[in-house]
Each structure stands twice: as C-alpha cells, then as structure tokens.
Amino acid sequence: MKYLVSLSGGKDSTACLLWALNTLPKEDILPYYIDTKWEHDAVYEYLDYLEEKLDVEIIRLESEGMEALSKRKKMMPNRMFRFCTENLKIKPAIEFYKTFQDKGIDFINITGVRRDESEARANTESFAISQDGIKTLYPIAYWSTQRVFDYHKENGIDVNPLYKKGFSRVGCYPCIYARKHELMLMEDKYVQRLRRLEKDMSEIVDNQKNATFFAPDRDKHLRPTLEMGNENQCVNQYGICE
Ligand code: SF4
C-alpha cells in the first residue's frame, strides 16, 4: 500500500504530510506536488524546505500550466468558468494515480480538505471512495485552522511564509479566488506576469471579458490592468473578486 500525499505548499496539505509521517510507515509515503506554472517562488522554496527538514522526496508533477491552458481555451478561468482546477490539478493527479493502477499497486490518496473551509466542504468525511474507485483519506477534515497551525509548531515545522505576509491561501498566484487585499500584496514581478498574460489574451479572445480572471465588472476594471503604470492602483481594480 502506498500513501500519496497531495501537497500544494499550503498549511493544510503540509499538516497532512506531517500527520502521515507521524502515523504511517515512512517508506510507503509518497508526497507529490503538481506545478501549475503559476506559482509564487516561495512555494518552490517551501517545498525544498520541507524536503530537507523532513527528509522526504517530493514528487514534482507537471501540468499544462495556467498560461498555456488559458491560451488553448481562448479564455482565462474565472469564478463562473473554473476549468483551471480540472486541467491543472485533477487531470495530472489522475495520470499520476494511473501509473500505480497500471502496475497493480494499491494506494490511498491523502488530502488536506477541512470542513470549516467552506460550505461546500462542510460535509467532508474522513474517508471516501470516488466513482472511479480512488480511495481518499481526509485526516484533517475535522481540524480547525488553529489546530493546523498548532500542529506545524508541535512538529517543529514553519508554515509557508506567504501566510505571514497576509495571504490566506497558497496555490496559484494569483488564484481566481484571490481577495482584494491579497492582490494588493502582490509583488511587482507577479503583477507584471498577470498583466502580460492579460495582454496576450486580449489579443486572442473573442470577448474581452475572457482576458481576465476577475469578472464581472470587467470593462471598467480590465483596462487599467493593461494600460496604467501604477501597479498598486492596477491591482486595486481587481477588488471585484472579494
Ligand atoms: S488555486 Fe485557484 S487558480 Fe489555481 S487551479 Fe485552483 S481555483 Fe484555479
């Protein structure tokens, strides 16, 4: 039996890895990370930190990447059309599982979903089997946010430094669900990356609303993100997603 621990670089998946290392045979634990190619550098550095501190090897899987996906679909994902998760995370994970299925190796996926994250997750049980037979363990389903932070501390592991900077989630940077205050915290390098993608997209989309993550007030808000010079002012315009 192999235990595949899905890591994002965030606090919940790290808590799952710590739980697995405290509970299961280490040689059977395989942490994996799927690169959306739309991440903050701090995530890669944090994965390196976990590998060194916990003496584990994290399997790094590739995805199509946010920019290539947006261009292929001729639209950027948004809250209404959230095709990013399916393409950048679920598909690579399924391909990864298949490598075990093809070899007849039994496995359980371990994921850091918690009930108190959202209404959609409020009924998460500690174990589930999907329609296609994938077994998933949710060891922190009933944990609070505080419990997750405390568990890092108890195990001598720092949380990803992005939380200390004020970000409430770690994943794509920015995520389509990023809040206004998170966008305002973005460093220039990442604002420029977002603006570059929006500009590229504005040249290939049929409808300009598809050239941003942050609909619906797009016509009023999209233009400044492409044309104005003040980065803070630009990212401020994204407040519509809060
Ligand atoms: S982290 Fe956000 S942007 Fe990235 S795949 Fe998930 S929902 Fe989409």
- Give the number of other CB atoms < 10 A from CB of residue 27: 7
The atom of ligand 1 lying closest to the CA of 213 is 3
Residue nearest to atom 3 of ligand 1 (CA): 175
Q: ω into residue 224 within 30 of 0, thus cis? A: no
Show the tokens assigned to 240: 């519509």
Domain ranges of the chain: 2-164, 180-241
CB distance 84 to ligand 1 below 6 Å = yes
- CB of 10 closer than 6 A to ligand 1? no
Angle between helices 11-23 and 41-54 (to 10 degrees): 10
Cα separation of 43 and 49, whole Å? 10
Q: Does residue 164 sit in helix, strand or coil?
A: helix
Give the range with max mean pLDDT: 54-68, 156-170, 220-234: 54-68
**Angstrom distance (rounded) from CA 117 to CA 132:** 25
State the pLDDT at residue 224: 44
Q: What is the pLDDT of residue 240?
A: 23
Task: Please indicate whether residue 232 or residue 181 has the higher confidence score (pLDDT).
Answer: 181
Sheet (strand 127-129) strand order: 59-62, 29-35, 2-7, 107-110, 135-137, 127-129
**Structure confidence at residue 228 (pLDDT):** 34
Closest atom of ligand 1 relative to the 178 alpha carbon: 2
Q: What is the pLDDT of residue 119?
A: 85
What does the pLDDT read at residue 218?
44
Q: Check if 34 has its Cβ closer than 6 Å to any atom of ligand 1.
A: no
Please give the Cα distance from 153 to 151 (Å, whole number): 5
Output the residue whose Cα is nearest ligand 1's atom 5. Answer: 85
CA of 14 to the centre of ligand 1 (A): 18
Report the SS3 class of residue 185. helix
Fold of the 2-164 domain? Rossmann fold (3.40.50)
Alpha-carbon distances of 51 from 56, 97, 143, 164, rounded to whole Å = 5, 22, 24, 21
Tens digit of each residue's pLDDT (9 = 90 or more) over 175-201: 998 877 788 888 999 999 999 999 999
**Residue-level pLDDT at 234:** 31
CA end-to-end distance (rounded Å), the chain:
42
What pLDDT shows up at residue 215?
A: 58
Q: Please tell me if the CB atom of residue 155 comes closer than 6 angstroms to any atom of ligand 1.
A: no
Confidence of residue 229 (pLDDT cuts 50, 70, 90): very low
Write down the pLDDT at residue 141: 96
The rounded distance, in Å, linking the Cα atoms of 191 and 197 is: 10
pLDDT, tens digit, 9 for 90 and up, residues 129-172: 988 899 999 999 999 999 999 999 999 999 999 999 888 888 89
Residue 27 Cα to ligand 1 middle (Å): 31
